[in-house]
Amino acid sequence: MAPAILIEKLQKRYGSVEALTDVSFTIEPGEIFGLLGPNGAGKTTAIRCLCTLTTPDAGKIELSGIDVVANPRVARQRLGYVAQEVALDKVLTGRELLQLQASLYHLPKKLSKKRIDRTLNLLGLEDWADKRTGTYSGGIRKRLDLAAGLLHQPDVLVLDEPTVGLDIESRLAVWDFLRQLRSQGTTVLITSHYLEEIDLLADRVAIIDRGSVINEGTPSELKDKVGGDRITVRLREFTPIEEAEKAKSLLSALQSVQDIVINNAQGNSLNLVVGAGSNSLLSIQNSLSDAGLPLFGIAQSRPSLDDVYLAATGRTLMDAELAVAGTRDPKAERKQNMR
């Protein structure tokens, strides 16, 4: 059986900006696949290429064996796409908006009514269906947007940051619904920079950074590759790099320490990988004390997807978000979104 989605060596450039340099991954039918990375990593560009909204410069995209670039109209019939920004006509009711969506897909009147009723029921929107969308909360608006993307019963549902800005109750409702879709055989592709969301939902995940996929696998596999527990050591609130390098050299000699990364974006803190279950905190504290080095803070935790990202790039997802925010050009982004 052909993969639900096959993407190979995808590339896309906007002028001097290289949005995608080498994106490759496959998604099997009936799984939830997470595309994880900071804003500006290339997630949205990749799915816009998949959804025929942007033409890639190079690479291959297939949807159940169909060449998406060569046969965009066929691909659209099999795709449901819900963008990050919710775009609803505030004058229409939820039901009227879904009726409009059904007509755009040329669904027969009887069939469209049946599907609208069913979709409203699935997403718990019955009480809101005949109210104008301008009165909806953010969570209800997002659910209606999901309903519009599902009305034609696509084989693949693509969601760009599906729960951004939602309260926890709305997020949980969306998560439950996506699990229902998976149990019914729908393939779901989610882009997100929420670690918890991808960890809880995704069967497999690809981590994308600066236009390239840097790691792929199940959340458990990716975390197991990193191995051990994580310890974060801060010598000072803002540690001089020379002092951090000295501490790194010192702690590297400890038997329980497997790896150390100096996190420049977080005041030159030290991120250590230690053997699972080892009593490393006391050894680290004693070593620093014996060497006359200060200790501002120390914490230990189990591996997370953020640790996977940190091991691959030397920075956390939050650090990457802040770096992108500091270099973002709103005018250039508007031009990119218009293409």
Digit-by-digit pLDDT tens for the chain (339 residues) are 799 999 999 999 999 999 999 999 999 999 999 998 888 889 999 999 999 999 999 999 999 999 999 999 999 989 999 988 877 888 999 999 999 999 988 999 999 999 999 889 888 899 999 999 999 998 898 889 888 988 888 999 999 988 887 788 888 888 888 898 899 999 999 998 788 889 999 999 999 988 999 999 999 898 888 778 889 999 999 999 999 999 999 999 998 898 899 998 889 999 998 886 567 899 999 999 999 999 999 998 888 888 888 877 777 777 777 776 665 554 544 554 444
Answer whether residue 326 is part of any domain.
Answer: no
Whether residue 237 sits in one domain with residue 175: no
What kind and span of H or E run contains 9? strand 5-14
Answer whether residue 50 is part of any domain.
Answer: yes
Whether residue 151 sits in one domain with residue 289: no
Whether residue 265 sits in one domain with residue 213: no
25 beta partners: 7
Answer whether residue 215 is part of any domain.
Answer: yes
Whether residue 61 sits in one domain with residue 25: yes
User: Within 10 Å of residue 301's Cβ, how many Cβ atoms?
Assistant: 11
Last residue of a domain, one of 190, 223, 256: 223
Answer whether residue 315 is part of any domain.
Answer: no
Is residue 256 exposed (0-12), middle (13-18) or buried (19+ Cβ within 10 Å)?
buried
Residue 287's CATH number: 3.30.70.100
Whether residue 123 sits in one domain with residue 20: yes
Whether residue 217 sits in one domain with residue 235: no
Q: How many domains does the chain fold into?
A: 2
What the block records as the tokens of 259 is 């790896």
Dist CA 235 CA 239 (whole Å): 6
Whether residue 43 sits in one domain with residue 139: yes
Dist CA 74 CA 246 (whole Å): 60
Residue from 80, 173, 87 nearest 133 by CA: 87
> What domain range includes position 234?
228-302
What the block records as the tokens of 42 is 């290339």
Last residue of a domain, one of 188, 223, 258: 223
Whether residue 164 sits in one domain with residue 71: yes
| pLDDT at residue 326, as a whole number | 64
Dist CA 12 CA 230 (whole Å): 36
Dist CA 143 CA 140 (whole Å): 5
Residue 156's CATH number: 3.40.50.300
Phi, psi of 156 (to 5 degrees): -130, 130
Last residue of a domain, one of 223, 256, 282: 223
What the block records as the tokens of 277 is 């279950």
Answer whether residue 119 is part of any domain.
Answer: yes
Whether residue 131 sits in one domain with residue 18: yes
Distances (CA, A) of 207 to 191, 198, 312, 324: 10, 10, 10, 16
Answer whether residue 61 is part of any domain.
Answer: yes
Whether residue 219 sits in one domain with residue 101: yes
Which residues, at least 6 apart from 246, have a Cβ–Cβ distance to it below 8 Å?
Answer: 291, 293
3-state DSSP helix/strand/coil % of the chain, to nearest 5: 40, 25, 30
What is the C-alpha R_g of the chain? 23
pTM attached to this predicted model: 0.75
Whether residue 287 sits in one domain with residue 205: no
What the block records as the tokens of 166 is 């939602």
Answer whether residue 45 is part of any domain.
Answer: yes
Whether residue 142 sits in one domain with residue 115: yes
Instruction: Tell me the Ramachandran region of residue 137: left when phi exceeds 0, alpha when psi lies from -120 to 50, beta otherwise.
Output: beta
Answer whether residue 26 is part of any domain.
Answer: yes
